[in-house]
Amino acid sequence: MAAPSRLVDFYFDPISPYAWLASRSLERLEGTGLRIRFVPVLFAGLLKAHGNLGPAEVPAKRTYLFRDVMREAARHGLPFSGPPGHPFNPLTALRMCTALDDDEQRRKLALALFAACWEAGEDISDVAALPRLADAAGFDGEALLTRAATPAVKQALAAATDAAIAEGVFGVPTLRLDGELFWGGDRIETLLWRLNGGAIDEDHLAAFLARPPLAQRPR
Amino acid sequence: MAAPSRLVDFYFDPISPYAWLASRSLERLEGTGLRIRFVPVLFAGLLKAHGNLGPAEVPAKRTYLFRDVMREAARHGLPFSGPPGHPFNPLTALRMCTALDDDEQRRKLALALFAACWEAGEDISDVAALPRLADAAGFDGEALLTRAATPAVKQALAAATDAAIAEGVFGVPTLRLDGELFWGGDRIETLLWRLNGGAIDEDHLAAFLARPPLAQRPR
């Protein structure tokens, strides 16, 4: 019997262009014995729970962010088109992903919606467009849209978001391996380092985090 | 006559462990014909001006951040000790750097204070420790501390922070080449790509940024 593969959770919301970029770099984790599970979470829910601001909610950061996304896309040979407006409401898209129980199917739809939004410039907040986009990816779009509107699926997305918050997830994309978080596509490299035996002194980290602040910024 | 070297501004505040990590990666920019100028700015001033939160001001992000810093330090072979408390007041350290007009001297002091704080675990908010640390780096620490307390130097740091804000700088470390920003040590790679002729479609970026939002998160 083959050893069970280790699981990596990939927390995503298609509202994040960095989640899109990371979704296109996950092949680097293949062949390592890892199984990647796409976990749809509502980014706005993470921000609210942590009292955090999204990067696109700070004007100078928003301006920088999309330049950065376009540069990183160009560097990695990915076509950037971008949705017709941002931010947009990703709820229905997230729920359609949530409605798929099979990991591979969910991943396939998520990748299709990421590409539709960020590469092809589709509006994935548009409930008229979503079934067509799901159809094009090999799904029954109308059936999926119907399931996305059920209380069970709505509740499942909310529960997944709450569970992520409880795990300390504050942003997307986040990868999670054995309870350890890796935030941002840039940290795929660090996850691989960890897999190869890289480690930190956990006692030192805990002691450092327990040190009281020497000053606080007045707010 | 040799062609004048192109200037890269490195905006930093020693309060940021990511600025420390980036300061140890700048050698990658050497030999490219670039001249690096260390520009001390008050990170708290950037946050206030942009209405932004520092990463260590969101508890879950703070916990993650220092794990991430320790992992990245380990990955790059850098010893992490960390200051006796964080955040701390970096004003005097920043002003001592500001007091040095010569770029090389300023860089030398900044690197020494980064190392003292993050590698050796010194308290660089302690005005009793700072002259000793500057002495050890080859400066006249007491003279520098005295100059750091002058209105001219205080004003110069405030002016540098305001100028950075006007350039769109919202965090540290930020590198700036020909008016273009690169935020975070991970983007040294992108700056090199840019130097080698990498480019984005500026008209596309401008058009994308001008698109109205399709939804807004209630806050």
Please state the ipTM of this predicted complex: 0.95
pLDDT band at residue A137 under the 50/70/90 scheme:
very high
* Domains assigned to chain B: 7-209 (3.40.30.10)
Which pLDDT score is estimated for A71?
98
Tokens (6 digits) for A58: 């700070």
Cβ contact, residue pair A64, B170, below 8 Å: yes
Which pLDDT score is estimated for B4?
62
B53 burial via Cβ count (<10 Å: 0-12, 13-18, 19+): middle
Of the candidates A59, A72, A208, the beta carbon closest to that of B82 is on A208
Which pLDDT score is estimated for B132?
98
**pLDDT, tens digit, 9 for 90 and up, residues A7-35:** 999 999 999 999 999 999 998 898 788 99
Residue A2 pLDDT > 60: no
Output A155-159 pairs: Cβ under 8 A, ≥24 positions apart: A156/A98, A157/A40, A157/A41, A157/A42, A157/A91, A157/A94, A157/A95, A157/A98, A158/A42, A158/A45
Q: Tell me the chain B residues in contact with residue A86 when contact means C-beta distances shorter than 8 Å.
A: 208, 211, 213-214
Which pLDDT score is estimated for A205?
98
Which pLDDT score is estimated for B3?
58
Backbone angles phi, psi at A81, to 5 degrees: -115, -55
Q: Tell me the chain B residues in contact with residue A199 when contact means C-beta distances shorter than 8 Å.
A: 74
In order of A71, A113, B4, the CA distances from B192 in angstroms are 12, 32, 18
CA angle B21, B23, B28 (to 5 degrees): 100
**pLDDT, tens digit, 9 for 90 and up, residues B9-47:** 999 999 999 999 999 999 889 878 899 999 999 999 999
Give the chain B residue whose CA is nearest to the CA of A90: B215
Q: Tell me the chain A residues in contact with residue B196 when contact means C-beta distances shorter than 8 Å.
A: none
Cβ contact, residue pair B125, A201, below 8 Å: no
Interface test with B, best of A21, A64, A192 (most B CBs within 10 A): A64
The count of CB pairs under 8 A between chains A and B is: 163
Q: Tell me the chain B residues in contact with residue A125 when contact means C-beta distances shorter than 8 Å.
A: 214-215
Which pLDDT score is estimated for A4?
62
Interface test with A, best of B48, B117, B200, B203 (most A CBs within 10 A): B200
Q: Tell me the chain A residues in contact with residue B71 when contact means C-beta distances shorter than 8 Å.
A: 190, 193-194, 198, 200
Of the candidates A82, A88, A200, the beta carbon closest to that of B67 is on A200
Low-confidence ranges of chain B (pLDDT < 70): 1-4
Q: Tell me the chain A residues in contact with residue B178 when contact means C-beta distances shorter than 8 Å.
A: none
Strands B174-177 and B6-12: antiparallel
